[in-house]
C-alpha cells in the first residue's frame, strides 16, 4: 500500500511541477505525462489507510522496538521517527484541502497552491517511507 502511494504521489508531483509537453518520447517524459487530477482520489484513500495502519502498528513499535533503540542510544533515529509522526498528522489534516484543490478546482485558484500541497504530501510520504525503514532495520545494524 505504501509503495502504491509512493508511486502515485511521485507521478502526480512530477506531473504538477514539470508537466510533459507535446508527445513524451522518453521514460521520464511519459512518467510525468499522467493526468494529475485522476490520481487525487487514490492518493487520499491510500494516504488515509496507510496512516491508519501505521497508527495501529505504532503501538507495537512503542512497546517492542523503541525501548531497545532507547537503550542502545539511537537518539537521532528516534528524533527522525518522531518527525515522521508529526509530518504524517499534518499531512492527514491536509487531505480534504488537497482533494478540493484537485477535484473541485476554482478557475481563479493558482495552480501553484495544489502543486505545492502535492509536493508537501510527497515529501511526507517519502520521508515516512524512508525513515520507517531505517527505524525498522536499525536493530540489525552491526549485529
Partner 1 sequence: MTSSHAFRSFAFAYGTAFAVLYVVALKLDLALFTVYPSLGVVLLGTHHSRDVAGPSMAFLAPAMYWYGWTATAALGALVFGLVAAFLPERWAQRVWPGWLWVVPALAMIACVHLTLPWFRL
Q: Site residues (CB under 8 A) for partner 1?
A: 55, 58-60, 62-63, 66-67, 70, 73, 75-76, 78-79, 82-83, 85-87, 89-90, 92-101, 104, 106, 109-110, 112-113, 116-117, 120
C-beta closer to partner 1: residue 4 or 111: 111
The runs of H, that is alpha helices, within the chain are 2-17, 27-31, 40-60, 66-71, 75-103, 111-137
Residue closer to partner 1, measured from CB, 3 or 59? 59
Nearer to partner 1, 75 or 141 (CB): 75
Q: Please, what is the minimum distance in Å from the beta carbon of residue 73 to partner 1?
A: 8
Shortest distance (Å) from residue 35 CB to partner 1: 22
Cell of 28: 521520464
Residue written as grid cell 485558484: 109
Cα separation, 96 vs 85, in Å, equals 19
Smallest gap from Cβ 25 to partner 1, in A, equals 33
Query: 10 Å Cβ neighbour count for 106?
Result: 9
> C-alpha grid cell for residue 51?
496512516
Amino acid at each position: 500500500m505504501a509503495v502504491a502511494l509512493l508511486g502515485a504521489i511521485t507521478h502526480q508531483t512530477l506531473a504538477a511541477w514539470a508537466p510533459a509537453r507535446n508527445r513524451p518520447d522518453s521514460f521520464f517524459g511519459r512518467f510525468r505525462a499522467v493526468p494529475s487530477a485522476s490520481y487525487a482520489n487514490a492518493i487520499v484513500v491510500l494516504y488515509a489507510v496507510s496512516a491508519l495502519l501505521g497508527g495501529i502498528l505504532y503501538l507495537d513499535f512503542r512497546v517492542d522496538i523503541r525501548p531497545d533503540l532507547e537503550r542502545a542510544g539511537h537518539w537521532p533515529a528516534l528524533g527522525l521517527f518522531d518527525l515522521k509522526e508529526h509530518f504524517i498528522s499534518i499531512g492527514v489534516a491536509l487531505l480534504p484541502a488537497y482533494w478540493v484543490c484537485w477535484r473541485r478546482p476554482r478557475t481563479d485558484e493558482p495552480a501553484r497552491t495544489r502543486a505545492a500541497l502535492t509536493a508537501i504530501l510527497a515529501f511526507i510520504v517519502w520521508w515516512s517511507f524512508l525513515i520507517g525503514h531505517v527505524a525498522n532495520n536499525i536493530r540489525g545494524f552491526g549485529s
